[in-house]
Every structure is written in C-alpha cells, then in structure tokens.
Amino acid sequence: MDSIAPVVWGVQNENLLTSIPLFVLLGELLLRSGIADRMYIALSAWLGRLPGGLLHTNIGSCALFAATSGSSVATAATVGTVALPSLQKRGYPMRASLGSLAAGGTLGILIPPSVNMIVYGSLTNNSIGKLFIAGIIPGLLLTLSFMVWIAISSLASGKVMREPKVPLAERMRTLVHLVPPAVVFGIVVMAALGFTWHSGKLGWTLLRTCFISTARISGMILLIIMAAFILNLTVSLTGVADSMTKWVAGLGLSATGLILALIVFYLILGMFMDVLSMQVATIPVTYPIAVALGVDPIWFGIFIVLMCELGLITPPVGMNLFVVHGIRPDKGGIEDAIWGALPYAAIMIGFTLLIMAKNSGACPPPNCSGATANAA
C-alpha cells in the first residue's frame, strides 16, 4: 500500500497523458462545428462512383477522422451520425451500412494519433512517437483492405450501388472541405478551435458542451490508466509476470506460436471486455512474456491495437456495434450491425496474419532494442 500513493501521484502528473483530453476535445469540436459533415460530402463526391458507393465514403471518412480524433467510438459515432440518414434515403442495405461504419470506426485507434497507443506506450515505457509512426502504414493498408472488400462484395451481389457522377469542376471545389481535417492532423486542437470559429459556431454554449464531455471521458480514461499502473506495480511486486514468463518459456513456444495463441486469446476476450479494460488487464502480463521471447515492443504494440480493434466489432460486447446501432434511423435490431461487421472482423484477423508473415514479429532478445527503431 505504501507504494501505491507514489504511483497514483506519478500518473496524475504525467505530462504525456495531457494529450488524451486534447484528442477527445478535438473530436467534439469537429463533430459539433459541422466540419465532419462537410468532410463526408467532399469524400462522397470522389469515392461515390466506386462499386459500393457511399460505403467507400464511410471508410474514407472514418480514416480521415481517425487521423484527427484518436478514438474509435468517437469516429464511429461522428461519421455514423452524418452518414446513416443519407444511406437510408438512397436505399443502401442497412446491414452493409452499419458494418462499414462499425469497422471504419476501428481505424480510430490504429491511424495516429491514437489514445490507445498512448496508453500502451505509457504502460510499457515505449516511445509514443515510434508507435504513431509504426501505425501509419498498417492503418492505410487496413483502410484499403476494407474498401477492396466493399467493392468485391458489391460486384458479387449483382446490385452495384454507385452515386451519380459529379463533374470534375464541382469535385475540385469540394476539396476545400478536406483542408480543415488535413490541417488539424498537423496542428491538432488549436487548428480545430480556429476552424470552429471560422464556421461561425464557436461560442460559449458549444465550448461548454465540448469541455464537459471532454472532462467526463478523460476522467474515465485517466482513472482506468491509474488503475492500470497500480496493477502493473502489483504484478511486478508479486512476481506474477516473472512466473508466467518462465512458465510460457517452459512450454517451448516460439514468438510466432505465442502471437497465434494471443490472437485466439484476444478474440475471445474482446467479446466480453471493452478496449481499455482489455489493455489494462492483459498488457502487464503479456508484454514481458512477448519481449522475453524476442517480439519487438513496437510491433507488439501495433498487434495489441489490432486485437483491440477486433474487440470493438465482435459481439456481444462490441462498443462500435452498440454505437452505430444506437444512431441508426430505422431503430432496427442490433443483429444487422453484428452480421454487417463480421466480414471486417475476418479481414482484420487475416491482416494480422499477413503482417506476421511479412515481419515475423520476432528478433533475438539481445537485438530487440535495435529492431524497435527498424520496426517503426
């Protein structure tokens, strides 16, 4: 108990964690100022002609919003609020619409900036910058994989949904609506305040709503992180991590064998736990085991984030499934969101296996520190 107080004090005074409420506030500003609406309209003009129509716009908008928000739930809720009325009006299948939004929302914790990468880096004392850099290419490739699936499934269905062709001149004019999120990606919250003011909606009422929502969400996240550090301390002092590391090492598993086992483990765990709870409960135990077997810490962070993404769209406790179901206009059953997201869950598992095959994920323990920079 004497050791807990310094841990709590240290977490609350960690400068790095101030980025979490700033990312949450950023998402609130983009949603309530109407910038997200205009971003969706602009992307629909460019992506709407692809097989699958506005479903591609869902994925593209989620990817772009993810690059400015850092939260999967905020991404799914924001883009879904904008997109679902248009999708229903144009006759898009609700199952496919909800599935694309739920899956697209998961990009919020892979494409940097990412709140969950900050949590992982804080728990494991790894570079947040390297984690952000390492997440860019996997995030873009996963976005492309989702869009390829939408095109293939649309063509295979025999009923190809496309939007009317927009003249090039008009499409060029819509690009101005992509400037705010693109600039925000570089200079974050101050730019969001500026664009909110420019939209004419910056006022005390909007700011008060954003600040209150930010404080509530950030308080919840920081309390969970504080509990995670206490758990880290407990695991360290009791020797649980060392014991489990020795036990796993005694099984003779290779790094690849461990990662395959963890895919199954996280797939099952993600059905019943939310992302932050899953990170808090498992990283203190799985991280030292993985590193002891030669898995690169930065690569393992991307793997953990992918597994957390998977948990967001697997029933019965998939947060993004509940988010998109809660904002659907026709108030149908949640089974549409579940069945619509299942193909994307399979794509994410296949994508994880692909990056394993590409990188193997392992290095000899003496060389892992050097491999960290290479992985990023």
Q: Is the peptide bond before 167 cis (omega within 30 degrees of 0)?
A: no
* Residue-level pLDDT, tens digit, the chain, 376 residues: 777 777 677 666 666 566 667 666 776 777 777 777 788 888 888 888 899 989 999 999 888 887 766 677 778 877 888 888 888 888 899 999 999 999 998 887 888 778 788 889 888 888 888 888 888 899 999 999 999 999 999 999 888 888 888 888 888 888 888 777 766 665 655 555 565 566 666 678 877 887 887 777 667 667 766 776 676 667 667 776 567 656 766 777 788 888 988 898 888 888 877 677 778 778 888 888 888 888 999 999 999 999 988 988 988 778 788 888 888 888 788 899 999 999 999 999 999 998 888 765 444 443 444 333 344 3
Report which secondary-structure segment, H or E, holds 127: none
Determine the distance from the C-alpha atom of residue 79 to the mean position of all C-alpha atoms in its chain, rounded to a whole number: 14
pLDDT at 371: 39
pLDDT at 242: 64
| b/e 13-47 (16+ beta carbons within 10 angstroms → b) | eeeebebbbbbbbbbbbbbbbebbbbbbebbbbbb
Nearest alpha carbon to residue 335 among 317, 350, 321: 321
Distance CA 150, CA 100 (A): 8
pLDDT at 166: 83
pLDDT at 33: 76
Helix 4-12 and helix 204-238, axial crossing angle in degrees, nearest 10: 150
- Burial (CB count within 10 angstroms: exposed 0-12, middle 13-18, buried 19+), residue 205: exposed
Cβ atoms of residues 36 and 30 within 8 Å: yes
84, two tokens: 């679902």
Nearest alpha carbon to residue 101 among 156, 60, 149: 60
Residue 272's identity, in one-letter code, is F
pLDDT at 294: 86
Residue 362's identity, in one-letter code, is A
Q: Is the peptide bond before 138 cis (omega within 30 degrees of 0)?
A: no
DSSP 100: H
pTM of this structure: 0.75
Determine the distance from the C-alpha atom of residue 282 to the mean position of all C-alpha atoms in its chain, rounded to a whole number: 18
Q: What are phi and psi of 48, to 5 degrees?
A: -65, -25
DSSP 315: S
Cβ atoms of residues 132 and 298 within 8 Å: no
Distance CA 12, CA 225 (A): 10
Report which secondary-structure segment, H or E, holds 310: helix 297-312
Distance CA 108, CA 67 (A): 7
How close are the terminal C-alpha atoms of the chain, in Å? Answer: 38
For tokens 């998402």, the residue is 27
Distance CA 335, CA 102 (A): 13
Residue 211 to residues 216, 261, 263, 350: CA-CA distances in angstroms? 9, 42, 37, 39
Cβ atoms of residues 241 and 185 within 8 Å: no
218, two tokens: 């950030």
Task: State the virtual CA torsion across 336, 267, 271, 307 in degrees, nearest 10.
Answer: -90
